[in-house]
Structure 1
Amino acid sequence: MDDQIKEAFLRSKSKDKQESYEAYLYILQVTEKQIDWAYEVWDDLLESLSDKDNHQRSRAAQYLANLAKSDPEKRMHADLPKLLEVTKDKQFVTARHSLQAIWKIGLADGVLKEKMMTYMADRFINGINEKNYTLIRFDIIQNMKHLYDQLGDEAIKQTAMELIDTVVDDKYKKKYKSVWR
């Protein structure tokens, strides 16, 4: 890991919101591609999933989702439950930002793709009593679309369409289908 990345991780925890935000954006950009230093930050990020600062929890989840493709030891297979817990954070904005990033885990390998699809489908179906469940459902359908766009797997699209067909409210059914146009 070069000094610029190390500095970005330090700055991402700054109390200066602008400095922290710029570092966050930089880290997300750098981790969009496969990197070779994931394990230098992995354990710290896992610990940050339970940080008292909701921004740090959200960012740690997003960083780990990005790093899943840079995980030759397949640590994500064991650590996934910790990350998914943040998608149900008590702070809705933290939960939502984490949820919106988890699709990237499915790019790492076929097993993780299946775990993500199972998790998202289950949450779509069984999360109806969650606060803001229509937004959560929208994010899940959007996640599936992102995965489909990256992988071209027709089974992903089929699953999304089957989930959308279970929606009773035409307003939301239409909204979810609009993601796939």
Structure 2
Amino acid sequence: MDKVIESYFQDLESQDKNIQYKAYQQIMTATEEKVDWAYEVWDRLKNNLTDRDNHKRSQAVQFLCNLAKSDPEGRLLEDFHAIWEVTKDQKFVTARHSLQSIWKIGLAGTVQKELVLKSLASRFINSTHEKNFTLIRFDIIQSLRNLSDEIKDEKVKQIALELIEKEEDPKYKKKYASVWKNV
């Protein structure tokens, strides 16, 4: 890992929130493409999934999701459950940030895509007992749209449309369907 990227990870620990945020943005930008340093930070990020600090949990999920395409060893498949658990975090903002990032794992390959699709569909169907489940469902539908836009897979769109059809409340069915307008 080059010194610049290393400094961004160090800056995440800064007491200055502006420095932390700039470092976060730089890491997110760097991980939009494949990188060769994923495993240098992997274990640290994996450990942060259960950190007391919800910001560290959220960042860890977002970084790991972005790093999925830089994971030729398939570590993410072993660590998926731990990442997925943060989508159910006690801090709703952390849970949402995590859920909104999870689709990026589907960009890493067929196995990863199937794991993401299965997990998102199951969560949509079984989320009605959760607080703010309509927001969770919206995030799932938006995630499926994001994945579909990236990989151009008709199966992803079909799954999303089938999930939308399962929504019984016309108001929310319309809201979820709006994500797929202009497709």
Instruction: State the partner residue of 1:113.
Output: 113
Maintained 8 Å contact 1:13/1:56: no
Name the CA distance, whole Å, in 2 between partners of 1:178 and 1:138: 10
TM-score scaled by length of structure 2: 0.98
- SS of 1:87's equivalent in the other structure is helix
1:117-157 per-residue CA deviation (whole Å, 9 max, x = no partner) reads 00000000001110110000000000000110011111110
Q: Report the aligned-residue RMSD.
A: 0.6
Name the CA distance, whole Å, in 2 between partners of 1:107 and 1:151: 7
1:37-94 per-residue CA deviation (whole Å, 9 max, x = no partner) reads 0000000000010111100000000000000000011101101001001000000000
- SS of 2:88's equivalent in the other structure is coil
Structure 2 counterpart of 1:14, one-letter code? S
- Answering whether residue 98 of structure 2 is matched by residue 95 of structure 1, we say no
Name the CA distance, whole Å, in 1 between partners of 2:73 and 2:50: 23
Equivalent pairs: percent with the same residue?
57
Instruction: State the partner residue of 1:60.
Output: 60
Displacement of 1:15 in angstroms is 2.0
Where does structure 1 lack aligned partners over 5 or more consecutive residues? none
Maintained 8 Å contact 1:45/1:64: yes
Task: Point out 4+ residue stretches in structure 1 off by more than 4 angstroms.
Answer: none
Where does structure 2 lack aligned partners over 5 or more consecutive residues? none
7-16 or 62-71, larger mean C-alpha shift:
7-16
Name the CA distance, whole Å, in 2 between partners of 1:133 and 1:80: 22
Instruction: State the partner residue of 1:142.
Output: 142
Maintained 8 Å contact 1:54/1:94: yes
Instruction: State the partner residue of 1:44.
Output: 44
Name the CA distance, whole Å, in 2 between partners of 1:103 and 1:130: 20
Name the CA distance, whole Å, in 2 between partners of 1:147 and 1:41: 25
Name the CA distance, whole Å, in 1 between partners of 2:13 and 2:128: 35
Instruction: State the partner residue of 1:175.
Output: 175
Aligned length: 181
Displacement of 1:16 in angstroms is 1.2
Structure 2 counterpart of 1:17, one-letter code? K
Instruction: State the partner residue of 1:69.
Output: 69
- SS of 2:67's equivalent in the other structure is helix
Name the CA distance, whole Å, in 2 between partners of 1:39 and 1:58: 19
Structure 1 counterpart of 2:166, one-letter code? T
Displacement of 1:13 in angstroms is 2.1
Maintained 8 Å contact 1:50/1:57: yes
TM-score scaled by length of structure 1: 0.99
Name the CA distance, whole Å, in 1 between partners of 2:36 and 2:95: 28
Structure 1 counterpart of 2:123, one-letter code? R
Name the CA distance, whole Å, in 2 between partners of 1:53 and 1:14: 14
Name the CA distance, whole Å, in 2 between partners of 1:54 and 1:99: 14
- SS of 2:7's equivalent in the other structure is helix
